[in-house]
Amino acid sequence: MIPKSFVQYLLNRLDIVDVVERYVPLKKAGANFVACCPFHNEKSPSFTVSQSKQFYHCFGCGAHGTAIGFVMEHAGMGFVEAVEYLAKSVGVTVPQEASNTSQHKVAPDLYELMQSATRYYREQLKKNQRAIDYLKGRGLSGEVAARFGIGYSPDDWQNLKAAVPNYQDAGLVETGLVIEGEGGKRYDRFRDRIMFPIVNVRGQVIGFGGRILDKGEPKYLNSPETPLFEKGHELYGLYQAQKAIRARQQVIVVEGYMDVVALAQHGVEYAVATLGTATTPYHVQKLLRLSEQVVFCFDGDKAGQKAAWRALENALPQLVDGKRIGFLFLPEEHDPDTYIREFGTEAFEQLLDDSLPLSGYLLRELTAQVDLRTPEGRNILLQKAQPLLTAITAPTTALLLRKEVAALAGVTQAELEALYSIKPVAAPPRAAPPKAKRSTPSGLRTLLRCLVMRPVLARELPGDWQGEGNEGAAIAALADWLRESADETTSAAMIQHFQGTSYEVVFASAQGEVIQWGDDFDVQAEFVGVLRRMRLDVIESESAELLAKGLLSMSESERSRLAQLKDERRQLKEQVG
Ligand SMILES: [Zn+2]
């Protein structure tokens, strides 16, 4: 585990402008830096980086965070990975908290073992004519084979003895390269297979996929789950495809590594594959962050249909309005590899453009085998649609699909929502509240903005401080957190701390509001001022409540309370001067 204080230390050492510029060229604009947002497609820059505040905010898509958050989002790294990468980039070592030592500790030498194995397999490929012929037969050039680091594991039990200094190294079993049988006898997991290294977004080999050359079972063999390799999180080919995906704002998800490599051979460089698992929600989320459009491409057979439906189910909770998910079913006898070899790149890209949108696929499957002319049939439709519709959180998509399903079932959208006990997506537009003064933010809002600028001010809040709603809760959480730590806390450290919590959204919107504030802005004065105004509001309303009773019917204690309030109000007003 990474100590919290280290995260803060690291954020102080980093400059977010340097970090972002490793990926996205920035332009100076006033006090800030701007660029066209790397997280959504746009023509004029709304992605803003503040050097003094050390956070970024996109006014187009709402992306926000610190240098650590940026690397996680942009390179698809996990938190620990991002911290390690950034620490290394400024030459500091990440200290480890002693607590959970056995769990999730990835020794760097495991990566080294994987690297040695990759090198070894690649050398073996050059020496084995049968393997070379196989790849040539599949239409692969040496260039593409090299780009994906493809190798060959010879037909022997202990090949890797030649690749590593010590075949008894525990790391070999831990990485899944070697299997320990009964009596401690060791042998290679991969024998006589074409080897596809599985690479993480940092370019490190974390696992292998091995394909058999001739007939035999299993046709594909993957590394098991190891400390380096989590199947549900990784996508084959993502490291190589990242650039093409961003440029095209499209990514294709195919079923196998051979498909990824074959597509790249034909210039379709924006394809990735899942690794012997169904598409997980994590995969979908990762891909939707990278591009505007995700197309799932499955074989036309039964297994392909099943995999596509699983992908749809896992995609529903991750849908983002405005981003497109498509489904492409190839003719039954084809996979992407055979299709592109037979018909060429243009024909394949045409299929991609014509892919079935998620909503179309969903409705097609729901209405298949249902007789909508009968009440029973429409009833079945409503039952089948319920778990799917309720899983969608993207408001516009949810609204449109509810309308479609309701229409098909012959009920109104409101009836459907009542039936499923779900909240209406589109509340009827309410008339603007009569005395809403949009120009002046509420006291809580102003307070929140001040605290985002300078979190330590939360220590000056009264101990019994309470606020209403999301903003109040977020401020209270901040005050609690500061009470626990003695450190000086920066905006960036605070944002990092609350990332992924229920307060993240509230703080993020305030960050967007303050990112343009100049550094000469007197936050302290604003903070004191707003606290005073809020206190005055409380005094006014409590006094008004007491006065409403009438002076004559007040108790002794109520009368003295009123006098006390009057005193306090006078003092507060005097302070304003
Ligand atoms: Zn954006």
CATH number at residue 464: 1.10.860.10
The alpha carbon of 45 and the centre of ligand 1 are apart by a number of angstroms equal to 9
CA of 229 from ligand 1 middle (Å) equals 30
332 and 375 within one domain: no
Is residue 98, in this structure, part of any structural domain at all?
no
447 with 571, same domain: the answer is: yes
So what's the pLDDT on residue 440? 58
CA of 279 to the centre of ligand 1 (A): 25
For Cα atoms 419, 421, 426, give the angle at the middle one, nearest 5 degrees: 100
Cα 40 to middle of ligand 1, angstroms: 5
pLDDT of residue 515: 87
Cα–Cα distance for residue pair 12/518, rounded to 1 Å = 20
First CA to last CA distance, the chain: 52
Is the confidence at residue 28, as pLDDT, over 50? yes
Residue with tokens 């908290």: 97
Residue 76 confidence (pLDDT) above 80: no
| pLDDT tens profile 460-470 | 888 777 778 88
Q: What is the 3-state secondary structure (H, E, C) of 33-92?
A: EEECCCCCCCCCCCEEEECCCCEEEECCCCCEECHHHHHHHHHCCCHHHHHHHHHHHCCC
Separation of CA 70 and ligand 1 centre (Å) = 12
Contact 530, 446 (CB under 8 A): yes
Is 43 in the same domain as 149? no
Q: pLDDT tens digits for 34-62? A: 999 888 777 889 899 999 889 999 887 77
CB under 8 Å to 68, separation ≥6 — which residues?
7, 10, 11, 79, 82, 83, 86, 496
Tokens of 441: 């933010």
Task: State the DSSP H helix or E strand holding residue 297, giving kind and residue range, or none if neither.
Answer: strand 293-298
**Do 456 and 542 share a domain, yes or no?**
yes
Q: How far is the CA of 42 from the centre of ligand 1 (A)?
A: 8
Both 77 and 177 in one domain: the answer is: no
User: How far is Cα 510 from Cα 504, in angstroms, rounded to an integer?
Assistant: 10
Rounded Cα distance between 189 and 27, Å, is: 51
If pLDDT is split at 50, 70 and 90, which confidence band does 353 have?
very high
- What mean pLDDT comes out for the span 62-82? 86
Residue among 15, 24, 26 nearest 53 (CA)? 15
Q: Do 212 and 263 have their domain in common? A: no
The alpha carbon of 573 and the centre of ligand 1 are apart by a number of angstroms equal to 44
CATH number, domain at 114? 3.90.980.10
The pLDDT, as a whole number, for residue 98 is 59
Contacts 24+ apart (CB under 8 A), 360-365: 361/308, 361/312, 361/327, 362/312, 362/388, 362/401, 363/401, 363/404, 363/405, 363/408, 365/309, 365/312
CA distance 97 to 431: 55
pLDDT band at 234 (very low <50, low <70, confident <90, very high): confident
Question: CA dist 53 to 105, 217, 514, Å?
Answer: 33, 57, 9
d(CA 423, CA 392): 12
What's the mean per-residue pLDDT of the chain?
Answer: 87
| Residue 57 structure tokens | 């905010």
Ligand 1 centre distance from Cα of residue 239 (Å): 22
**Of residues 550 and 453, more confidently modeled:** 453
pLDDT digits (tens, 9 = 90+) for 402-442: 999 999 999 999 999 999 988 887 544 444 444 433 445 68
Please give the distance, rounded to the nearest whole angstrom, from the Cα atom of residue 31 to the centre of ligand 1: 19
Tokens of 575: 């302070």
Peptide bond connecting 45 to the previous residue in cis, omega within 30 degrees of 0:
no
Q: Which two tokens stand for residue 322?
A: 């405005």
Residue 427 lies in a domain: no
Domain that holds residue 526: 443-576
Residues 568 and 466 both lie in one domain: yes
The Cα 494–Cα 457 span in angstroms is 12
Question: Which of these ranges, 89-98, 365-374, 431-440, has the smallest mean pLDDT?
Answer: 431-440
Same domain, 342 and 381: no
Q: Phi and psi of 34, rounded to 5°?
A: -130, 165
* C-alpha distances out from residue 27 to 47, 53, 145, 459, Å: 10, 17, 38, 36
The pairs formed by 379-383 with CB atoms below 8 angstroms and a separation of 24 or more are: 379/409, 381/405, 381/408, 381/409, 382/409, 382/411, 382/416, 382/419
Please check whether residues 259 and 379 belong to one and the same domain. Answer: no
Q: Are residues 253 and 358 in the same domain?
A: yes
Instruction: Report CA(65)–ligand 1 centroid distance (Å).
Output: 12
CA 241 to centroid of ligand 1, rounded, Å: 21
Residue 147 one-letter amino acid: R
**Structure letter (DSSP) for residue 188:** E
Place 202 in a pLDDT band, splitting at 50, 70 and 90.
low
Number of H helices, E strands in the chain: 24, 16
Contact 477, 446 (CB under 8 A): no
Is residue 43 within 8 Å of residue 36, measured between CB atoms? yes
Number of domain units in the chain: 5
Within a domain: 436 = no
Centre of ligand 1 to C-alpha 6, Å, is 29
| The two structure tokens encoding residue 419 | 């039936």
For residue 385, report the distance from its CA to the centre of ligand 1, in Å: 32
**Cα–Cα dist 543/541, whole Å:** 5
448: left (phi over 0), alpha (psi -120 to 50) or beta: alpha
Distance 61 CA to ligand 1 centre (A): 4
User: 438 CA distance to ligand 1 centroid (A)?
Assistant: 25
- Helix-strand-coil percent breakdown of the chain, rounded to 5? 50, 10, 35
Q: Are residues 327 and 401 in the same domain?
A: no
What was the pLDDT predicted at 326? Answer: 96
In this structure, the answer to whether residues 60 and 131 fall within a common structural domain is no
How many angstroms does the Cα of residue 266 sit away from the middle of ligand 1?
Answer: 31
Q: Among 40-54, 90-104, 305-319, 500-514, which stretch is predicted with the lowest mean pLDDT?
A: 90-104
Name the domain boundary from 89, 119, 141: 89
